[in-house]
Structure 1
Amino acid sequence: MKRLLPTLLVVLCVFQLNAQNYFEKFKEYSNNRDTIRQRELLEKWENDQPKDAELYTSLFNYYFAKSRNEVVLLASGKPPKGEKVLLVKDSLNKVAGFIGSRIDYEQSNLKKAFESIETGIELYPNRLDMRFGKIYVLGQIKDWRNFTDEIIKTVNYSVINKNQWTWTLNESRGDADVFFLGALQDYQMQLYNTMDDALLKNMQEIANAVLNHYPKHIESLSNLSIAFLVEKNFEKALQPLLKAEKLNPHDFIVLNNIAYAYREMKNNKKALEYYQKVLKYGDQQAKTTAEQEINRLK
């Protein structure tokens, strides 16, 4: 058995080296947008090392890129708010229309992208980059139901693997738990930034899933309150906000939201109390707003 061990080590090292070589080549062809060589490499890679983790992330990226089609649009009237467009003006220098673009997704390649990454996740459930890659694409195609469900699945799995996540080339992250929770906050903000009030419920679903396992996660307590604030259910909004304040009495975003809730409830005394706290702990912008509110409430 001792004679076999060096041979096994050599075979293992060669396997890892080959896998990394495939991955580096794929990145090179991707950067050069050489889809023909990408496809040829992926076929060889699949035959040579069908269980390589980087194969699945590369297949995912390849098919997702193939699915994206940018469509140029020429339309009359005023452009939608927030979209980057080229304005078309008439002889009187008035806006007559605009030229913009949108991304459409071809479904057969998109399906292959998801099938590839789902196989990868099944084989390598601790690979956080695979899970986050899938979530990212669901956000890009605005499939908010599956976006939310996939985040919740990942939150639940984080308890099973105790946040022992790995990343590209199966490398471990030393700050895995901090990085993981930080990314979850970014995803919840992605829902919020759609400005679609219906998606506030999705934010609450994610926040509740996080708090079920991480009850001291202040950002999720704050997110939980947002839908209640929008719905003007201020008493319910205060419950998670006051819990968050106990965990961090200096979080000025939480303090500001508490002040706002009390203000809307016409409890000026408590609103003033919390705006004073924002003055003490907030950044310059928060302090300016708090000062304005204090002057208005006095």
Structure 2
Amino acid sequence: MKNICIVIAVTISSISFAQDYKSEFGKYFREKDTIKQKETLEAWGKAKPTDAELFTSYFNYYFQKSKKEILSLTRNEPEGEALILKDSLNQTAGYLGSTINYGDTDLKNAFTKIDKGISLYPDRLDMRFGKIYALGKIQDWEKFTSEIIKAVDYSAKNNNNWTWTNNEKKEDGKQFFLASLQSYQVQLYDTENDNLLTNMREIASAILKYYPDSIESLSNVSVTYFLTGKYNEGLEALFKAEKLNPKDYIVLSNIAQGYKLSGNKAKAIEYYEKTIQYGDEETKTFAINQISELKK
């Protein structure tokens, strides 16, 4: 019994010790004190070199440190806040805004740390999502896509038994995981870069490999085809979604749109009528207007 008590005491002490480092780092991170952050991380690494939270903290430290804000004068309005410059006639002459660049060395260190964390704690979804978030910020869309697909492949191995900060189990792991993947595909779509439609399709196809009933992914596949003029391929994906849920009015509306784009007015009207049958008020109004246009 004495030995058991000693083991428990040591375990509790170790957890508390690691938690103190995390809190200390968090304090300095909020204060943007990079010197104290580094000192805390180095002491933490010596005391507990494989602590999961050490890797996420190192990642946050290096990624934040890699960000460099640069003021620039441009003729085109930049994203975010900007100062509008006027000429003598009070006409807009340009904009003074800031752009964010990322230093290669710190960025490399950030990814090295989080990759080590993922290798030791592959079920830690916050580590995977943290890396994906960073890749999106630096607009490395190929690696962004690759990391998402890696996570999808691994989800089939761990059955979506994900953990999060402090290795706490993520409830509703599958639902949370798939919903997050949908937001990443929307992120690609929102770039309005048609070259990234292939990336969207790759992600959706990877999801469908393990989750063939993912209506969102089937819809995403259809969008990538519609936007490139491949209407038959887009409709094929939507027909699969319709079989899964014949009353999904978003799917029905998208099928109608596909038929409209391909020039098949009769089938478009048929599916807009189905949309009216199952849709909400806003969707019904849209479908009614579409039918009116098609019948002109």
TM-score by length of 1: 0.95
Code of the aligned partner of 2:33:
D
Alignment pair present for 1:65 and 2:64: yes
Structure 1 residue 142 corresponds to structure 2 residue 139? yes
| CA distance in 2 between partners of 1:24 and 1:287 (Å) | 52
Letter in 1 for 2:15: Q
* 1:98 partnered with 2:92: no
Q: Which residue of 2 aligns with 1:253?
A: 250
Residue 18 in structure 1 maps to residue 26 in structure 2: no
Q: How does 1:68-79 map to 2 (within 5 A)?
A: 68-75=67-74, 77-79=75-77
Find the aligned partners of 2:68 and 2:80 in 1 and give their Cα distance: 18
Q: Residues 126-275 of structure 1 correspond to what in structure 2 (within 5 A)?
A: 126-275=123-272
The AA in structure 2 aligned to 1:50 is P
Q: Aligned to 1:173, what secondary structure does the other structure show? A: coil
Deviates more, 1:250-259 or 1:201-210: 250-259
C-alpha displacement of 1:284? 4.1
d(CA) in 2 for partners of 1:61, 1:209: 29
1:3 aligns with 2:5: no
Matched residue SS, 1:96: strand
Residue 222 of structure 2 aligns with an amino acid whose one-letter code is S
SS class of match (2:88): coil
In the alignment, the residues of structure 2 paired with residue 272 and residue 48 of structure 1 have an alpha-carbon distance, to the nearest angstrom, of 68
Alpha-carbon distance in 2 for matches of 1:78, 1:229 = 31
Contact 1:255 1:277 in 2 (8 A): yes
Could you tell me whether the CA contact under 8 Å between 1:252 and 1:281 is conserved in 2? yes
Structure 2 residue ranges without an equivalent (≥5) = none
Aligned to 1:232, the other structure's residue is in SS state: coil
Cα offsets for 1:79-117 (capped at 9, x unmatched)? 25x654322122222111111111000000000000000
Please give the secondary structure, in 1, of the residue aligned with 2:85: strand
Picking from 280, 286, 289, the partner of 1:289 is: 286
Equivalent residues of 1:218, 1:244 under 8 A apart: yes
The 5-angstrom pairing of residues 49-60 of structure 1 reads: 49-60=48-59
Q: Deviations over 1:150-184 (max 9, x none)?
A: 00000000111111100000000121110000000
**Amino acid of the structure 2 residue aligned with 1:52:** D
